[in-house]
Amino acid sequence: MKRAFLMLVAACTPAASAGTGSGSSAGSGAISAQFEHDMLVRMHMHENFGMVRAIEHLLVRGKLDEAKQLARGISEAPDEPGAAAWATQAARVRDRAAAIVTATSLDDAIHGVARLGADCAACHVASGATPDLADTPRPPPDANDVAARMTRHRWATDRLWEALIAPSDDEWKAGLDVLAATPLPVSLLGKDKEPLAKKLQRTAETARTAKSAERAQVYGDLLSTCAACHTRGR
């Protein structure tokens, strides 16, 4: 499927057939090989990032068993063709995914998926295939009710995720600015969730000074608090 997609893209690319003569043919061959390699790396990158986000979303909702099933797919994935130069980083990614599969608690798995995301990013930085982030959308409006606040929190975690994989200081700050907002009153949250909302705010505030190497741990801490709130009372 991947190769068929690449052939389709190559066929639609004018540069693939440009030029005449043996020199031009050799040059086109080199360009085509590089193009296919880059496309394979980028497709693999987007597939894995999508899988990691899906694992994260399941964990935040307390669905540990389902998340483990997806993590197992990453942990058992074969090496990609042409990726031998990054075999060490790829093996580390698989090890991180395997740690999620064997996690004995939701908290361990959540911190594991944060580390997995960071290692995926490190691998793609090493391969020269860092993700291209679109312009940051404006945060959703805050209507000071639970539904609006959850929408803003989802927006914020998207920004933190992008900061983790890009990396990006601006995205990190944007996400934390939203999470560090004053929590909703206890009358809206309930007494059981108010302490978690305050904990999320404190963690976001202290995370502003986190160094790049510390962000995976902080991201895991934030997600763990989110999961505790989402699963409270189940």
Give me Rg for the CA atoms of the chain.
Answer: 21
pTM of the model: 0.76
- State how far the alpha carbon of 77 is from the alpha carbons of 55, 91, 98, 125, in Å: 16, 10, 11, 20
- Maximum mean pLDDT: which of 120-124, 160-164, 200-204: 200-204
Compute the distance between CA of residue 168 and CA of residue 162 in angstroms, rounded to an integer. Answer: 7
Nearest to 112 by CA among 157, 80, 68: 68
Confidence of residue 36 (pLDDT cuts 50, 70, 90): very low
- In tens, the pLDDT along 83-130 reads 666 677 778 889 999 999 999 999 999 999 999 888 877 766 666 666
Phi-psi region of 182 (alpha: psi -120 to 50; beta: other; left: phi over 0): beta
- In tens, the pLDDT along 210-232 reads 998 899 999 999 999 999 999 98
- Higher-scoring residue by pLDDT: 18, 176: 176
Nearest to 229 by CA among 190, 202, 177, 203: 190
* Residue 86, pLDDT score: 66
- In tens, the pLDDT along 182-193 reads 999 999 999 999
Name the percent of the chain lying above pLDDT 70.
71
* Residue 51, pLDDT score: 86
